[in-house]
Structure 1
Amino acid sequence: MWKALTMVARAKHGRLRPSFLVHSFNLRGKIAMPVPDNSFGNFTNPALARFTADEDENKKVELDHFVDRVHDGIRKRVTDSAKISSDDDLFSSVVSTKTEMIEEFHRSDADFYMFNSWCRMPVYEVDFGWGKPGWFSAVVVPGHNMFHFMDTKDGDGIEAWVSLEEDDMLLFQENPDIKAFTGQE
């Protein structure tokens, strides 16, 4: 999806642009400090990935380029998280990541995308007393370059909730990679 978004930006602006991908990263089990078993709530600090547009404009942008960037961002988050052994370390890590995100978000020459995944979360097993849900959806703010992934109810697929500006969505839907992946060739 990130590759397709880069091609949307290229079509809109006539050139490759840098982009910044933020994706949720669960800190549970990855930090050195103990987290009580009965704790609840979000315990995340995003993993960050960058696409720099300094590559040759005529060179084909390949999927593995984006996969490598995401992998590097996750590896860095895992390495950094393993060093967190106190509340002060945790606070410092979160503040540092949020500051970096804010700085990138305010760059006028870069595109900013937020990805979140609830895959493998048992959302269809939740029962508050009136039965398990027939359908579960994510909240995605319209037009804010947000992407949310969830398992389908039958567990055989993944739903992607995509939120883009209308013009961007039209270009995104026509991207050959997206069409091929969704079987709309």
Structure 2
Amino acid sequence: MARLDIEIQTRKMLKPSAPTPDNLRRLKLSLFDQLDCTTYIPALFNYLPNSSTISYHDKLEKSLAETLTKFYPFAGRFGKGDPFSIDCNDEGLAEFLGKAPNNIESSLVDLLPIIDLQPSPSSPLLGVQVNVFNNGGITIGIHISHIVADAFTLATFVNEWAHTNLTGPQDNNYLPNFGQLSSLFPASVLQLPSFDPNTSTTTGTGPNYKNKTSKKKKIKDDSTTDHDMIRQPTKLVVVMSLIWKVLAHISSTKNGNSRDSIFGFVISFRGKFLCMPSLEHVLGTFSISEIANMEADELVGNRIGDTCAAIGKASKVEDISSLTLNNQTKIIDKLLQRDKIDVYGTTSWCKLPWYEADFGWGKPFWVNPVSFSIHELIILMDTKYGDGIQIIVTMKENDMTEFERDPHILSSTSKL
């Protein structure tokens, strides 16, 4: 893809419209924040041209500042001297206003705010870039640290910002509780196997890496085996199983022999930790990583079912902490064997209100997670009308060519 000719018109550090109360100035991290704190989540919200977008920027900026008073950790910084906290000091977020030509073939990465992805105490936790196209279309690009948000939290924040921009600030006492998880599952010094993802994970944004988005429009009966039917698979499980099957086939063709592989995915605790239903809508990061192992003949659906059953049976927070840490150790052990096995990762953004974020010029026509930094990562999310699943795939260019022409992919998907 050609790079966009972005003209940055303004750049500023935007602060919350009201100071954060003293009693909320230090946010302790939870166990789940701790395990995800070195990554950022990138997302683009794309809107069609509309007469309501005229003179939008001042209003967007004001509503964002007002929303930050509720989502106050987003304007903070990584804790100084305390690796297990966030200073909610209202330093602000990085905000950019850019103007770009109407070129849909250009790189989506250019629409994201520039943030140092190797965090330091001075790094903003949130960056927003508002891009205006010559035809009047708007793209809002967001980079947010996983230390303060997962996909659920990001979707909640964007919809709150959109609602505030659409209707004005609400006169209520609603204030998200960001400290609930850390009080139950505090971060601490962990005795986990040593693993440096920066050296063990292949990353890149150069010409040898490609990002593709396609839409799942039908489910073929041959995408699962009879063994997969031990548990009736959901649509999402069928898609994940199909992708793993295709990736394993590409690997065996490339290497001349079949290799063991693991398929990683993330399961949200929300709505599954039955002994504490109050955590169903909790903000922050609240999920567990899980893997299926091809050599052990494990199935995605069965692994998800077993883990969800274990979460449902948990009677105290210690059970959840132990399950999370045991899984983390198991996954790191496998990642340390990357020279012998293939490792694939996926995460689901399904069943979240991405397409409800109406800032006043209609709902987005396309929301894109922009998986660009880690190859062989797949992000799944519902299509705008819920009639399929978007598959956002990032992998090496040669592998992408094989992926795109695989008969299972061709028969089951259509490009957006």
Q: Please, what TM-score do these two structures have when normalized by structure 2?
A: 0.38
The separation in 1 between residues aligned to 2:330 and 2:244, in whole angstroms, is 20
The separation in 2 between residues aligned to 1:21 and 1:149, in whole angstroms, is 14
1:86 to 313, 316, 340: 316
The secondary structure found in structure 2 opposite 1:164 is: strand
Number of the residue aligned with 2:306:
76
2:290 to 41, 47, 50: 47
CA gap of 1:155–1:83, structure 2 versus 1, over 3 A, is closer
Supply the AA of the counterpart residue of 1:71: G
Give % identity. Answer: 33
The secondary structure found in structure 1 opposite 2:363 is: coil
The separation in 1 between residues aligned to 2:348 and 2:323, in whole angstroms, is 21
Once the 2 structures are TM-superposed, how far is the Cα of residue 83 of structure 1 from its aligned partner? Answer: 3.2
CA gap of 1:52–1:110, structure 2 versus 1, over 3 A, is same
Number of the residue aligned with 1:132:
363
Once the 2 structures are TM-superposed, how far is the Cα of residue 129 of structure 1 from its aligned partner? Answer: 6.2
Number of the residue aligned with 2:127:
none
1:112 partnered with 2:343? yes
2:270/2:281 contact within 8 Å kept: no
2:382 to 151, 167, 170: 151
Structure possessing the higher radius of gyration over alpha carbons: 2
CA gap of 1:85–1:139, structure 2 versus 1, over 3 A, is farther
Supply the AA of the counterpart residue of 1:138: P
CA gap of 1:25–1:3, structure 2 versus 1, over 3 A, is same
Once the 2 structures are TM-superposed, how far is the Cα of residue 128 of structure 1 from its aligned partner? Answer: 5.3
CA gap of 1:129–1:86, structure 2 versus 1, over 3 A, is farther
Once the 2 structures are TM-superposed, how far is the Cα of residue 111 of structure 1 from its aligned partner? Answer: 0.9
The secondary structure found in structure 2 opposite 1:109 is: coil
Q: Please, what TM-score do these two structures have when normalized by structure 1?
A: 0.81
The separation in 2 between residues aligned to 1:136 and 1:183, in whole angstroms, is 17
The separation in 2 between residues aligned to 1:163 and 1:35, in whole angstroms, is 36
Q: Which region of structure 1 is more displaced relative to structure 2, 115-124 or 83-92? A: 83-92
Once the 2 structures are TM-superposed, how far is the Cα of residue 38 of structure 1 from its aligned partner? Answer: 5.2
1:143/1:166 contact within 8 Å kept: no
1:21 to 256, 259, 263: 263
The secondary structure found in structure 2 opposite 1:49 is: strand
| Deviating 4+ runs (over 6 angstroms) | none
Number of the residue aligned with 1:96:
326
Q: More strand by proportion, 1 or 2?
A: 2
Which sections of structure 1, spanning at least 5 residues, go unmatched? 54-64
Q: What whole-Å deviation, never above 9, does each CA across 1:58-93 have from its counterpart, x for those lacking one? A: xxxxxxx7xx71122112202221232222222211
1:149/1:161 contact within 8 Å kept: yes
The secondary structure found in structure 2 opposite 1:100 is: helix
CA gap of 1:87–1:139, structure 2 versus 1, over 3 A, is farther
Supply the AA of the counterpart residue of 1:153: K
1:105/1:112 contact within 8 Å kept: yes
The secondary structure found in structure 2 opposite 1:46 is: strand
Q: What whole-Å deviation, never above 9, does each CA across 1:69-127 have from its counterpart, x for those lacking one? A: 11221122022212322222222111111111111112121111111122221110124
Number of the residue aligned with 1:61:
none
Supply the AA of the counterpart residue of 2:379: H
CA gap of 1:172–1:142, structure 2 versus 1, over 3 A, is farther
1:140/1:161 contact within 8 Å kept: yes
Number of the residue aligned with 1:58:
none
